[in-house]
Chains A and B, each alone.
Chain A
C-alpha cells in the first residue's frame, strides 16, 4: 500500500489539466485566482514530496496498477520534487510580477485564455519532471511547445506572431528529431519505460550490438532537446520570442521552458541511457564545444544590442551554454553545477525581465538604452532588481551567480582535459557580462538631468502604485541572495537527488 504522498505527482498533473479546462469557462479574474491557487497547491505538493523522499528515498508509481513494461510510470525523488517546487515558485513570481502588464496588453476577453495556457504549461513542466516513460515525455513536450507558442502569441502584434511562428518551426524541428530518436531507441530496445530501456541499453553496450544506431538515437534525442532549449547554434528563435512577448511569458519562457527540456535531457542521460554510456560516446565533447561557443557568442551578441530586453534574451543564450558546459564535463560535480545553474538562472533571468519591464514603463515604454538613462531613479524597485540581477550574472560574491561560477570552476578542475578551455571561457564570459550588464547598470543609475524634459511618458512610478510588483521583485532578490549565501543545503539536496536519480 503506498503512502498518500506518493500520489502527489499524478494529482499535480491531473489538477493542472482540470484547471485549464475549467478556466475556459471562467472570466479573467476568476481564472487568475484559479491559476494562482493551482500553482501554490502544486508547489506545496512538490515540496512535501521532496521531504518525503529525503526520508524514504525515491519511489516509482505505476499508473492504474498495470505493471511495467506495459504500463505507464511516474517517478518521484528528491531532485524531481525540488525541481517541481522551484518551478512553481518561479512561475508564481513571474505571474505576479507581470500581472499589471498582462492586464494592459491582453484583451479582456482573452485573459482567461492566457491562464489556460499557463496552466497547461505548468502541467507539461510537472509531467516532464516526474515522468518515467519516454513516450509520455514526448507527448508533454508537444503540449509544452503548443502552450509556449500560445504564450508568445497572446500579445497580438506582428512581431509576436512572427516570433511565435519561428518558435513553432524550430521547436517542431526539435520535437521531430526527438521523436525520431525515441523511435530508433524503441526499435533497438523494445521498451518505452525509462528504467527498462536502460537495462536494455546496458545489455546492448555489453554485447556490442547496434553500436551505431544507439549512438545515432542518442544524438538525435540530444540534438532535438538542444534545439528546443536554445543551445548554440539553434538559438535564433530566442531573442525574438523572449524579446517581444508579454513580460510574464518572457519570464516563464526563459526561466522554465528551456529548463524543463534540459531537465528532461539530464533525466534521459541518467535514467535512459546511463551516464557511463553517454560519457564514452564522446557526444559530450560536441556539446562542450557548442556550449563554449554559445557562451561567447551569446555575450557578444548581447553587447551589440540596443534594446534592453533583447540584450537580456541573448544573455540567456550564454547562460544556457553554462548549463550545457556543466553537463558536458561528464562528472557528477559537473552535473551538480549544471543543476544549480538551472536554479540560479531561473531565479535571475525572470528577475531581470520583470525589472526590465519596470524600467521601460518609467521611460515611455521605450526599450532603447538611450531612453533608459536614470530610469532606476524613476522606478526604484525595478532598478534595484535589475542591479541585483546584473551583479548575479557577473558573479559577484553574495549572489547566486557566484556560487554557480564557483561550482563550474571546481568541476572543471577535476576534469583535466577540458579544464583550461572551461576556465578561460568562464573568465572571458565574466568579462563580457561585466561589459554589457554593468554598462546598463551605470546607465540606469546615472541621473538624467533634464535629458527627457518635456517628453511625455517619463514619469516616476511610486511604490504604492505597484505593490504586487514591488513584493515580487523583493522576493526575487531575496531568493537570489538566499541561493548565494545559503547554498550549502541546496547543494546537498541536489547531490542526494542526483544519486537517487538513476
Chain B
C-alpha cells in the first residue's frame, strides 16, 4: 500500500471534523451520520494500512535544522492504530445516542462535540504513526488542545475547573517531556524511533546521570497523560465530561497515548541498554508500582461510578508502565498486551456506566440497587467486563496479567516480584470495587421500582462487541501475544 494513505488516515478526519464544525448542517441526524461515516472511513483506511503496511514512511515537512515531521507504520503503530481504529467508530456510534442525554441549551453545541471528537481521532492516529520524537511530541500537544472542548462540554463549574486542571497538567507535563527531546537531539544519533535506543556514542562523564535524570523528567512528563502518581489528579476530575469522552479518551485514547509515548521513550529513544539496572529504572518502576496500588485503593473509597472507574484506569495504566519499566522484551510484550486488553475492558465498563447514567440517571454506586432487573443486557456486559478486569481466567484480563507476571518473574529482580505482588493486590482491590457494584445490581436488599430501560441498538451493539472482545481476546490470546512478542523482538 502506498505510504501516502498515511496522510489520509491522519488528516482526513482532522479536516473533515473542522468542516463539520463550520458547515451549516441543520438536521441532527445528518450531522450524526456524517460524523460516524468519517470515523468508519478513517478506520477502514487505517486497518488497510495496518494489515498491509507500506515499507517506507513519509516526511511531511522539515521543521528546524535536520528534524522533520515524519510518519511510518512500524509494529507499535500497528498495535496502537488497530486499537484506536477499532474503538473509535463504535464509540462514536454510542455517542450518537448518549449525547441526547447530555446536550442542552446550557452546553456547547453537539456539532462542535462531534467535530472535535472526530478531529481527536486524526490527532491520535498521528501520534500512533509518528516516526520520531519531535512529530510525536507535536501531535501530543495538539491532542491536549483538541480535547479541551470535549471536557469543557457541559460548561458547568466543575467542567471548567476540570478543564483548567487538565490543561495545566498536560501542558506542564509536555514541557518536561520536551527537555528529553532536546537532549536526545543533542546526544542521540537521531531522533527517529529505533528499537534499542539512539544513544550509542560517547557520552562525557557525569552526563550519563543527567541523561538519566532527563529520562525521569520525560517519564513523569508523559506520565501526566498516563495518569501516573503524583500527576494523576486531573483524571478523576475529568469524569465530569460526557461518558463518550471519559470512556474513549480517558480510558483509551488520551491516556494510552501517554503510555504509548513512554514505551516509545524507553524502548525506541533511550534504549533499554542505557537504562536497565540504573537508579532511573528503579525510580520509575517504583513509582509505577505505587500507582498500581494507589489507584485501586482510591477506587475502593470512591462512591461515584465514573470516578471509581477513572481511578481504576489510573491503576491499570501503571500496569502498562510497570511492564515497560522492566526494560526487557517480555516486559514490553506484557505492556502492549495490557494496553490492548485493558482498552477493551475499560471502555466496556465505562460505556455500561454511561448507559446507566443516561437511561436511569444514576451516578452513584449506592443507587445501583437492583438495576440488573431494569437493564439486564447492560449488566451482563458489565459483569463480563468486571470479571475480566479482576483477572478471572478465561477472559482477557487474566492473560494480560499473565504476561506481565511472566515478565516480572523472568526478570529476576526483586522489584519484579514486588511488581507482581502489586498487580495481585490491585486485582484483589479491583474485585472489591467491581463486585460491589455487580452484587448490588443483582442482589438488591429491597425491591426496586422502575421500568426496563435498556438502551437502543446504537449503544447496545458497541457494548456487546466489547464484551465479546473480552471473551474472544481471552480465548484467542495466543496469536495476539505472539504478534506483540514479534514487535518486542524487533522483527516488525
Contacts and interface: CB of A to CB of B under 8 A. Distances in A.
A435 B168 contact: yes
Contacts of B172: 427, 430-431, 434
Contacts of A449: 105-106, 155
Interface in A394-432: 394-398, 403, 405-406, 409-410, 412-414, 416, 419-420, 423, 426-428, 430-431
A438 B182 contact: no
B257 to A, nearest CB: 15
Interface string B464-476: 0000000000000
A248 B168 CA distance: 31
A487 B64 CA distance: 7
A243 B388 CA distance: 59
Interface in B138-189: 138, 141-142, 145, 148, 152, 155, 160, 163-164, 167-168, 171-172, 174-176, 178-179, 182-183, 185-186
Contacts of B207: 416
B141 A409 contact: no
B108 interface: yes
A7 B61 CA distance: 40
Most chain A C-beta atoms within 10 Å of own C-beta, residue among B63, B142, B175: B175
Interface residues of B, number: 36
A439 B148 CA distance: 11
A456 interface: no
B478 interface: no
A383 to B, nearest CB: 14
Interface string A368-405: 00000000000000000000000100111110000101
A430 B175 contact: yes
Contacts of B63: 485
Nearest to B172: A431
A98 to B, nearest CB: 29
| Interface SS of chain A | helix
A439 B179 contact: no
Contact of A427 (B105, B168, B178): B178
Contacts of B65: 488
A460 interface: no
Given A397-B137, A423-B179, A427-B179, A434 B145 contact: no
Contact of B141 (A396, A423, A431): A396
Interface string A432-456: 0011001100100011010000000
B175 A427 contact: yes
A427 B185 contact: no
Contact of B64 (A423, A446, A488): A488
Contact of B168 (A406, A410, A438): A438
A272 B322 CA distance: 57
A146 interface: no
A427 B62 CA distance: 25
B407 to A, nearest CB: 32
A106 interface: no
Contact of B171 (A398, A413, A423, A438): A438
B210 interface: yes
B210 A420 contact: yes
Given A391-B145, A420-B210, A405 B178 contact: yes
A396 B137 CA distance: 10
A337 B255 CA distance: 34
A374 to B, nearest CB: 10
Contact of A410 (B105, B141, B171, B186): B186
A403 B134 CA distance: 12
A474 interface: no
A481 interface: no
Contacts of A10: none
Contacts, number: 85
A431 B155 CA distance: 24
Contact of B138 (A397, A419, A426, A442): A397
Contacts of B183: 413
A162 B152 CA distance: 42
Contacts of A398: 138
Nearest to A420: B210
A410 B185 contact: yes
Contacts of A426: 175
A434 B152 CA distance: 16
Contacts of A431: 168, 171-172, 175
B160 A442 contact: yes
Contacts of A428: 175
Interface in B94-127: 105-106, 108
Nearest to B173: A431
A172 interface: no
Interface string B289-328: 0000000000000000000000000000000000000000
A431 B63 CA distance: 24
Nearest to A429: B175
B59 to A, nearest CB: 14
Contacts of B108: 447
A405 B65 CA distance: 14
Most chain B C-beta atoms within 10 Å of own C-beta, residue among A405, A409, A416: A409
23 contacts: A391-B145, A395-B178, A396-B145, A403-B64, A413-B183, A413-B185, A420-B213, A427-B175, A427-B178, A430-B174, A430-B178, A431-B168, A434-B175, A438-B168, A442-B152, A442-B160, A442-B163, A446-B152, A446-B155, A446-B160, A449-B105, A485-B63, A488-B64
Ranked 6 nearest A-B pairs via Cβ: A430-B175, A431-B172, A434-B171, A397-B138, A409-B182, A427-B175
Interface of A: 391, 394-398, 403, 405-406, 409-410, 412-414, 416, 419-420, 423, 426-428, 430-431, 434-435, 438-439, 442, 446-447, 449, 485, 487-488, 491
Given A406-B182, A431-B175, 18 more contacts: A394-B171, A396-B145, A397-B141, A403-B64, A409-B179, A409-B182, A412-B182, A414-B186, A420-B213, A427-B175, A427-B178, A430-B175, A434-B171, A434-B172, A438-B167, A439-B164, A442-B152, A447-B108
